[in-house]
Amino acid sequence: MKKRVALVGIYHESNTFSERPTVYSDFENGHLLRGDAIVSHYRDAHHEIGGFIEALDHRSIELVPVFYATATPGGTVTADTYERLKEELGTLLEAVLPVDAVLVAPHGAGVCERYPDMDGDWLAYVRQLVGAGVPVVGTLDPHANVSAQMVASTDALFAYATNPHLDQRQTGIKAALLLNRILLEDLRTCQELIQLPLLISIEQQHTQAEPCKSLYREVQQIAGEQGALHASILLGFPYADVPEMGTAVVVISEQGKNSGVSVPELRSCFLKRHRQFCGQKVDADMIALHAASVAGPVLLLDMGDNVGGGAAGTSMYLMDWLEAKGEQKGCICITHPATVAYIAGFEQGQHFDISFNEINPLNRTQPYTVTLADYRNGLFTEPDPRHGGQVQYDMGKVALLRTENEHLIVVTTLRVPPFSSRQLTSLGIVPETLNWIIAKGVNAPVAAYKDICTAVIQVNTPGETCADPTIFTFKNRRKPLYPFEPITDV
C-alpha cells in the first residue's frame, strides 16, 4: 500500500507597518485552492508545490492535496481571516487522516493580529492534528522570520537559495526528495535554528551579488564539511515587528550521526560581514549620476513602495521626479481601484487632468494631463521561472494613461508585484522603447527585466517599505540586533 502524504499551506508575507489589514478577500483574489485544484494549478509552475509534485516517489507515495491559500504581501492578517483559513485547513486535513507525512508550504513571515507567529501557529496545529510521529517537511521563503515554534513543529524546512527567487521549484524538489528518504529509507532528521544578532538590509539581499554571494557559498561549504544534510539561510523580513525578526540559519542533520554544525563557525560567516549588510542608500537626487552613461531602459526600483514587501503600490514619487526633471518615456504601475473606476468614465483617446495626491500624500499636488490609451482586463501569464513562481496573474481592470511627456502610467485594480515584464507587455507596452521603467520592488524585478534594462538603480524612496529599517518604531524585536544596535562580539 502506498504511503499517503498530505499537502497544505497558508502563505503570506505580512508588513506590520502597513495600515491596510489583509482580509479573506485578499486570499480569494490571490490563490485559494483545495484538493486537486492545487495540483492542476501548480503541477507545471516554477513553484515549490510544483517541485513537491515532481519529486515525490509516486510509485510508493500518494500525494493528497488538501488546502493552499496565498495572498499578495500586505498588512497584518486579521484574526477572523486567519482563523477562517486555519479552520478550513484543519477541517479538510482531518477529513483525509490518517496520513504518513505532510508537505507544508508556509512563507515564514506571516503575522496575524492575534497570532504574531502565524506560521508557527498553523504549523503547530498541523503537528497536533497528525501526531508527533508523522514527518512534516516543507519550504520557506528566505525572507522568513523563523521562530522556534516553526522549527519545533516540523522535521525539515528548506529555504529558497536565491533572491530573486528563481529556485522555488528546485527547493520543493529538495524537500520532497528528503521526504522520500524519510518514508522509504527510514531516515530520521533533526533541525536546529540559529538566530543571528543582525538583519541584512533589504537592498543587500541579492544572492548573486556581494555580500550574499560569498556568504551563501561559505555557509554551504561549512555545513557540507561538517556533515549536515542541508543549511538554509533566512535573510529576514524587516517590515514585521515580531521577536523572531532578523537573519537566521536552519540546519538539517541526520539523527544519530556526528553531524552537528559548529554554531560559532556559522555565526562568524555573518558577523565578519555585518558592516557589508548595511548598504549605501541611493536617493532620487542621485539617479542622474548613476544613469548618466547608460543607453537603453533604466530600471528604477522604488524600494519605499515595494508591493512585494506589502506596500500599497500608490506612490508616484519617482514618476513625479522624472516629470520634474523633464525626462521622457518612463513607465510606472500603481494600484488604486477607485481611480480605475473614475477613469472608466472617459473614452479611449480622451484627454483629461488627474491628480494622484489624494491616494498618497507623497505624490505631487499638481495634476497630470493625460490621454486614456487603453482600458482592459489585466490578466496575464508568466510561463518562465520568475520570482514568486506563479504562472497566472490578475491585475483586475487596468487603465493605461499617457502623459504629455510620453510617460506611461498603468493604474490597476488589484495589486500585483512586479515579478514579470509581461505586466507591461500584456498591455501592448514595448519596454525596450522606454527610457525608464519604475518597478515597485528591491531585488525581485531584476529577474523580470534583466534582459531588457541596461542598468538597475535601487532608490531609497520614502514609504512603508523604506530601505532603512531603523526609521520604523519596533516594539517587539529582539535586542541587540544590528543595525539598530552595534555588534560587539565579532
How crowded is residue 353: how many other Cβ atoms within 10 Å of its Cβ?
9
Cα separation, 382 vs 7, whole angstroms: 24
Cα torsion 348, 349, 350, 352: sign = positive
Average pLDDT over residues 316-342: 97
What residues does each domain of the chain span? Answer: 3-277, 284-467
Q: How far apart are CA 426 and CA 380, in angstroms?
A: 6
> What Rg, from alpha-carbon coordinates, does the chain have?
23
Question: How far from chain centre, in Å, is Cα 34?
Answer: 22
In this structure, which topology does domain 3-277 adopt according to CATH?
Rossmann fold (3.40.50)
Residue 90: pLDDT band with limits 50, 70, 90: very high
**Reported confidence tier of residue 450, pLDDT bands at 50, 70, 90:** very high
pLDDT digits (tens, 9 = 90+) for 29-75: 999 999 999 999 999 999 999 999 999 999 999 999 999 999 999 99
| Residue-level pLDDT at 207 | 97
> What are the tens digits of pLDDT across the range 339-354?
999 999 999 999 999 9
| pLDDT value, residue 259 | 57
Distance CA(31)–CA(11), nearest Å, equals 10
What integer pLDDT is reported at residue 30 of this predicted model? 96
What DSSP letter does each residue of 216-227 carry, written as one string?
HHHHHHHHHHTT
Q: Residue 490's pLDDT is what?
A: 64
In three state form, how does the secondary structure of 305-358 look? HCHHHCCCCCCCHHHHHHHHCCCCCEEEEEECHHHHHHHCCCCCCCEEEECCHH
Does residue 261 have a pLDDT over 80?
no
Q: Calculate mean pLDDT across residues 229-242.
A: 97
Phi-psi region of 276 (alpha: psi -120 to 50; beta: other; left: phi over 0): alpha
Percent over 90 (pLDDT), the chain:
91
Confidence tier at 258 by pLDDT (50, 70, 90) = low
Query: Whole-number mean pLDDT of the chain?
Result: 96
* Residue 290: pLDDT over 80: no
Summarised one tens digit per residue, pLDDT across range 169-208 is 999 999 999 999 999 999 999 999 999 999 999 999 999 9
Number of H helices, E strands in the chain: 14, 19
In the chain, what percentage of residues exceed pLDDT 70?
A: 99
Q: At what angle do helices 79-96 and 118-130 cross, to 10 degrees?
A: 20
What CA–CA distance (Å, rounded) separates 197 from 294? 39
Question: What integer pLDDT is reported at residue 256 of this predicted model?
Answer: 79
Burial label, 179 (beta-carbon count in 10 A; 0-12, 13-18, 19+): buried
Mean predicted confidence (pLDDT) in 284-310? 88
